[in-house]
Structure 1
């Protein structure tokens, strides 16, 4: 009886240990595999795990799917752009009427450049040339992306009605539609694995440059105030960028649930700030991260634990 009791106690201890271990693992919400968002999350999870914080990427269809999970405490961290984070916390845009009050930005990761790409053998060379052509659109599981694409079109002097809209649920499905010939142009982020895949499958693709003028940037910001025009230089890993390319840019953020303790958030931000090279080694786009500029005012308060590291005012 004593032997059985000892075994029972030992088993209970093991269960408690397993539960504690599982509870310590952080879930990071990201877009699907092949997206820059997924690659960012995977790099962050690896660096955190290498520095004693167990983290696991949990991809889904889009930010409108996983930001609410962070708000409910079912996920801990997430990758989202500044537009989405501001809208979600303040209850604007897609999140109008159902603000996510239990999430907060924790750190600026790096500027994110997006654009529309076409096949190399296409006669489409500028955004303005897209008039009358088919372009991926809709993004029902990534509602903010419609506004981003509308901003790109606006910079090129176009309205959404000027293109033939090929409706897709998310940007990954949009590339698939492009590859099957349903669209002449597809919207995606520069430097993404999915763009490299598209390049190989389509026999070559290139992004379309934005006009380099103050008027074009004003049209861009009339749709997305947080956006700006940034020239991306060609480098290894930037498929479809063969020449200096003016593109739409906005900042990507690490988002955290308010249920995550201040001390843990401070430790997460510190690890990321102090391990840029490890992030770059995992995902090259992190070379644009500035450890001294991980705070940017996006109009909503940061997590207190992050502010304790970033030394910035709410």
Structure 2
């Protein structure tokens, strides 16, 4: 082999290696854990997956579970890259308290605040039940054996009417989707769900109309609510097409939904996803209307014992939103 031939082959090999090195990186496969279809979290996961696939160069799939109580441990273990949850359930998971007492999920991390999660009791539109106090003695969903974040919210709601869960006739269900099904089937007089969820719309269509019950906005009621669910606040809601069941102005118990990751979720994947979400609110809202409440200027805040994922922190630093504020 001549020196000239050897040199040409060497150059060709270098060029080929350069071409391989310049090839685009393979998209990461990520799982997004969410609640069952019809739930607020499942629809949220679908919207986030849309942005992950179309704008973040990731390959995302939504995986349904009974509730975040069930799947947050799987996110912590790295079985799924992300999960849809809320800041209170994330807090008790990382501190090993409440339903997670004695278990260590301290490697869960916040990735972004999603939107204000608004919850209420719903009854039939023509029901004689006009207020929370009218639920006394009625058949109301309860139990929530696989969704432990719900009972404290029930306690908070009843407290504003001077009641407790012992004042209703319980219809025990494992989760909110099952509770809505019990209502649709005529087994319950009221069900508890998040405003804007697909299941709420389904219940409205199934029974000929539903009505959300108000939590009167007073300092006394807010104090009672926070005895059971500390991060909650009372948010005004008005009748609108997305607010199915809100037939007159009301206030709803509200707290923040969050996208959750763990220390086992790649920094690059978290960074890519939160950056794409910041730039693509419209894309997410076209998939799920509640994402209209997503605020790109409010993606990060101080969450006390909950740590932020380094990949998310990197983006918020670039955005000028770090360190987070209350």
Q: Tell me if TM exceeds 0.5.
A: yes
Indicate conservation of the 8 Å contact 1:69/1:75, yes or no.
Answer: yes
Structure 1 Cα separation of the partners of residues 274 and 300 of structure 2:
11
Indicate conservation of the 8 Å contact 1:156/1:211, yes or no.
Answer: no
Indicate the residue corresponding to 1:122 in structure 2. Answer: 127
TM-score, structure 2 length as denominator? 0.87
Structure 2 Cα separation of the partners of residues 267 and 77 of structure 1:
13
1:42 matched to 2:46? The reply is yes
Tell me how far 1:154 sits from its aligned partner: 1.4
Tell me how far 1:62 sits from its aligned partner: 0.8
1:313 matched to 2:323? The reply is yes
Indicate the residue corresponding to 2:153 in structure 1. Answer: 148
Cα displacement string for residues 157-209 of structure 1 (whole angstroms, at most 9, x for unaligned residues) = 21111111111011111111112222111000111111111111111111100
Indicate the residue corresponding to 2:94 in structure 1. Answer: 89
The residue correspondences of 1:51-130 to structure 2 (distance < 5 A) are: 51=55, 52-130=57-135
Cα displacement string for residues 197-222 of structure 1 (whole angstroms, at most 9, x for unaligned residues) = 11111111111000121101110011
Structure 1 Cα separation of the partners of residues 161 and 298 of structure 2:
30
- Within the candidate set 253, 259, 270, 1:254 is matched to 259
Indicate conservation of the 8 Å contact 1:75/1:257, yes or no.
Answer: no
The 10-residue stretch of structure 1 (286-295 or 232-241) with the greater mean CA deviation from structure 2: 232-241
Tell me how far 1:47 sits from its aligned partner: 1.0
Cα displacement string for residues 14-59 of structure 1 (whole angstroms, at most 9, x for unaligned residues) = xxxxxx96x8210000000011110000000011100111101001
TM-score, structure 1 length as denominator? 0.90
The residue correspondences of 1:159-238 to structure 2 (distance < 5 A) are: 159-238=164-243
Indicate the residue corresponding to 2:29 in structure 1. Answer: 25
Structure 1: unaligned runs, 5 residues or longer: 1-19
Tell me how far 1:279 sits from its aligned partner: 1.0
Indicate conservation of the 8 Å contact 2:216/2:250, yes or no.
Answer: no
Structure 2 Cα separation of the partners of residues 251 and 281 of structure 1:
21
State the 4+ residue runs in structure 1 displaced beyond 4 angstroms. none
Q: Aligned-residue CA RMSD in angstroms?
A: 1.4
Structure 1 Cα separation of the partners of residues 78 and 51 of structure 2:
22
Aligned residues: 294
Larger radius of gyration: 2
